[in-house]
Amino acid sequence: MEFTKMNGLGNDFVVIAGEQQLPENVAELAIQLCNRFFGIGADGLVYILPSDIADFRMRIINSDGSEAEQCGNAIRCVAKYVYDNKLTDQEVITIETLGAGAQRVQLTLQDGEVSSVRVDMGEPILNGLQVPTTVDAEQVIQHPIEVDGGQFKFTAVSMGNPHCVIYVDDAANFDLSTWGPQLEHHPLFPRKINVEFVTVNSRTHMDMRVWERGAGPTLACGTGACATVVASVLNGAVDRAATVSLKGGDLFIEWNESDNHVYMSGPAAVSFRGTF
């Protein structure tokens, strides 16, 4: 099996193209391939497939074998892959996702290859039951939550996958391993949750660390960065265009007031290629 190891700000994936559908044993395959000691090592396994509604279709299997509805870093990697490997010659393409439908992607080129990708991530979902959480409210803002004696307040946003954004004094040094898994599996979140711990530095800049549902701590999360900006606008903390600094680098996020869409801009890179 030919594969390409790619990453978006260190959030890394095993990318496979050329298949018509997912293999029946895809969950077991993802666990095997993503293992960092006995496999290739990655946060997830990504398949690029044909689509009936877009130029390409993306399916993402997390390192624990579960499927993710959407991933902002993965979609940038897919966009770079299809252009650099001459599967398309268009600089604006659409990619179908499981949770957010077909998303429009604009490529920035340098020396004939993709250097940066701007993704129309669509409209955020703010209704509590639709995120989903068990909170029946049009918007879930600074809702209290308690885990093992720790007390937090979260703002809930879905970008095609569910997120809860929590503000802390020092996101860069926050104890992800203690609180991340407890929040991910909290009863308030019926399909589990991606957890963003955020420190607001200014109206246009935030630090963020993420515990990803099904993958654990990762160096970056594109949908999480989008959810963070949306949540922070709802909380009156930042402007509608802001830079989110993750452990793997920066993403620029815009929540456009005219169309209510969230736009994410950032890089994607090839780590290596091989045969498994």
**Is 226 labeled as catalytic in the residue annotation?**
no
The number of C-alpha atoms within 13 Å of 111 and in the hemisphere containing its C-beta is 1
Instruction: Tell me how far apart the alpha carbons of residues 127 and 218 are, in angstroms, rounded to a whole number.
Output: 27
Of the candidates 259, 234, 230, the residue with the CA atom closest to the CA atom of residue 242: 230
Instruction: State the catalytic residue, choosing from 71, 77, 164, 226.
Output: 71
Instruction: State the catalytic residue, choosing from 34, 77, 164, 221.
Output: 221
**Helix/strand/coil for 98:** coil
- C-alpha distances in angstroms, 218 versus 13, 25, 93, 139, 215? 11, 25, 27, 27, 7
Instruction: Tell me how far apart the alpha carbons of residues 37 and 89 are, in angstroms, rounded to a whole number.
Output: 37
The answer to whether 195 and 211 are in contact (CB under 8 A) is: yes
Cis peptide before 132 (omega within 30 of 0): yes
**Is 221 labeled as catalytic in the residue annotation?**
yes
Q: Which residues are catalytic?
A: 71, 221
